[in-house]
Amino acid sequence: MRLPARFKRFFVPNSLRFQLLARSLFLMAVLLVVVGFFQYVFMQGFVYQNQAKSIQSQVQSVPPNVWQQMASTDDASGPMLEEGPHHAPFFFLPDATIALIDESGAFTVLSNSSVKVGAPQKLSQQDYQDVRSPEHKLTYKVVKPTEGDEQLIVLQTIRTRDHIPEIVQVSLSTKPLKEMMLQQLFMFLGISSLALIGAILAFIPVLRKTLVPLSNMVDTVEQIDVENLAERLPVDQGQVEIDRLANSFNRMLHRLELSFEAEKESKEQMRRFVADASHELRTPLTVIHGFIEVLLRGAMNQPEMLNRSLTSMYTESERMKKLVEDLLLLAKLDRTPKIELTEGALDEIIKNMAPQLRLLAGNRKVSLRLVSNLRCWFDTDKIKQVILNLFHNAVQHTDPEKGEIQISLATVGRGVELAVGDNGLGIPKEHLSMLFDRFYRSDSSRTRKYGGAGLGLAITKSIVELHGGTIRVESVADEGTTFYIWLPIDETS
Which of the residue ranges 56-65, 133-142, 367-376, 475-484 would you say has the lowest mean pLDDT?
Answer: 133-142
pLDDT above 60 (res 83): no
85: pLDDT strictly greater than 90: no
> Could you give the angle at the alpha carbon of 122 between the alpha carbons of 120 and 126, nearest 5°?
150
d(CA 23, CA 391): 76
Average pLDDT over residues 86-102: 63
- Least confident residue range of 114-128, 177-191, 477-491: 114-128
Whether 410 contacts 489, CB under 8 Å:
no
Cα 140 to Cα 123, 131, 151, 225, 277: the distances in Å are 11, 10, 10, 78, 107
Tell whether domain 338-488 is in CATH 3.40.50.2030.
no
Which pLDDT band, with edges at 50, 70 and 90, does 417 fall under?
Answer: very high
Report the half-sphere exposure of 47 (CA within 13 A, side-chain side).
18
What is the model's pLDDT at position 406?
Answer: 93
CA–CA separation, 230 vs 228, rounded Å? 5
CB 171 within 8 A of CB 142: no
Contacts of 431 (CB under 8 A, 6+ apart): 440, 442
Look at residue 101 in the predicted model and tell me its pLDDT. 82
Of 86-90, 286-290, 324-328, the range with the lowest mean pLDDT is: 86-90
Q: What is the reported pLDDT for 2?
A: 53
For 311-347, the pLDDT digits (tens) are 888 887 887 887 777 777 777 776 666 778 888 888 8
Q: What number is the average pLDDT over the span 278-291?
A: 75
Instruction: Give me the residues paired with residue 152 across strands.
Output: 142, 172
Predicted pLDDT of residue 419: 93
For 302, left (φ over 0), alpha (ψ -120 to 50), or beta? beta
**Residue range 437-445: mean pLDDT, rounded:** 62
Task: Name the CATH topology of 223-336.
Answer: Helix Hairpins (1.10.287)
| Percentage of the chain lying above the pLDDT 70 cut | 80
pLDDT value at residue 163: 65
DSSP string, 7-29: HHGGG-TTSHHHHHHHHHHHHHH
Closest by Cα among 454, 449, 393, 452 to 424: 393
Q: Residue 472: which pLDDT band, with cuts at 50, 70 and 90? A: very high
CA-to-CA distance for 473 and 483, rounded, in angstroms? 4
Beta carbons of 154 and 132 less than 8 angstroms apart:
no
* Class (C level, CATH) for 62-173: alpha beta
Please state whether 225 falls in left (phi above 0), alpha (psi between -120 and 50) or beta.
beta
| pLDDT value at residue 485 | 92
Phi, psi torsion values for 85, nearest 5 degrees: -70, -15
Distance between CA atoms of residues 227 and 78, nearest Å:
99
Length of the chain equals 493
Pairing of strands 151-159, 107-111: unpaired
Residue-level pLDDT at 426: 86
Give residue 81's pLDDT. 42
Residue 470: band (very low, low, confident or very high) from pLDDT cuts 50, 70, 90: very high
* Rounded mean pLDDT, 192-220: 77
Domain boundaries, the chain: 62-173, 223-336, 338-488
- The per-residue pLDDT of the chain, averaged, comes to 77
Strands laid side by side in the 365-369 sheet: 365-369, 404-412, 415-422, 480-488, 470-476
pLDDT in tens, 168-202: 888 888 888 888 888 888 888 888 888 888 877 87
State the Cα–Cα distance between residues 178 and 150, nearest whole angstrom.
Answer: 10
